[in-house]
Chains A and B, each alone.
Chain A
Amino acid sequence: DAGVIQSPRHEVTEMGQEVTLRCKPISGHNSLFWYRQTMMRGLELLIYFNNNVPIDDSGMPEDRFSAKMPNASFSTLKIQPSEPRDSAVYFCASSPRLTGELFFGEGSRLTVL
């Protein structure tokens, strides 16, 4: 079975540009989570969805960040405008339910120059 699929794997952009990260969760999973990983702060939860509905976005750092889940098989995380401090690895993870085992994608490494 395919795992969580993220794209792009690597993104290099200039400050001020819009960045869109994409995620396809495991089929049948009802919960989807976006995390950010940096050396300084480790893994931080940004937002999570249950049945396509955002449940908690308190981890989204600023209004520049937004996330959507238009259907059960697709989610996006958008940063507009991007800043150098947004450079990190962004992970998408899915779970059969909110308290179930979490499965991660390979991540999208973002570099903002």
Chain B
Amino acid sequence: KQEVTQIPAALSVPEGENLVLNCSFTDSAIYNLQWFRQDPGKGLTSLLLIQSSQREQTSGRLNASLDKSSGRSTLYIAASQPGDSATYLCAVRDDYKLSFGAGTTVTVRA
């Protein structure tokens, strides 16, 4: 069974600092990995999707890397803003199912 771990569980940074969020998974036989953002009381918003054949994916200030062999992905958010405060979830797809980590709750202080 795929196990997805996100460390740290919570992170607080001053505005402008770069964010580094980590995700690890136990089974490297994956189709893809997806990063989501969840605001309190809201649904999950897809941020980036990385296919198993890719090493990284970029969208604006966001960059996600994937090292399938070591079972790791990292989400980088450059020049953080208070609006980036949310919970970030990593999800790994194998056998058509997405397995989610517990998330990292980010607070960006103005």
Contacts and interface: CB of A to CB of B under 8 A. Distances in A.
B44 A101 contact: no
Interface in A68-113: 91, 93, 98-99, 101-107, 109
B5 to A, nearest CB: 12
Contact of A102 (B34, B41, B102, B103): B34
B45 A101 contact: no
Count chain A CB atoms within 10 A of each CB in B34, B44, B49 and give the residue with the most.
Answer: B44
A104 B45 contact: yes
B43 A98 contact: no
B98 interface: yes
B98 A91 contact: no
Interface in B16-47: 31-32, 34, 36, 41-46
Task: Classify the interface of chain B: helix, strand, loop or mixed.
Answer: strand
A42 interface: yes
A18 interface: no
B93 A99 contact: yes
Q: Is the interface of A mostly helix, strand, loop or mixed?
A: strand
Contacts, number: 42
Given A56-B96, A101-B46, A43 B89 contact: yes
A66 B44 CA distance: 23
A43 B36 CA distance: 12
A15 interface: no
A21 B7 CA distance: 33
Contact of B100 (A42, A99, A103, A105): A42
A99 B31 contact: yes
A52 to B, nearest CB: 16
Q: Top 4 closest A-B pairs, CB basis?
A: A104-B44, A43-B100, A104-B43, A106-B43
Interface of B: 31-32, 34, 36, 41-46, 49, 89, 91, 93, 96-98, 100-103
Interface of A: 4, 33, 42-43, 45, 48, 55-56, 91, 93, 98-99, 101-107, 109
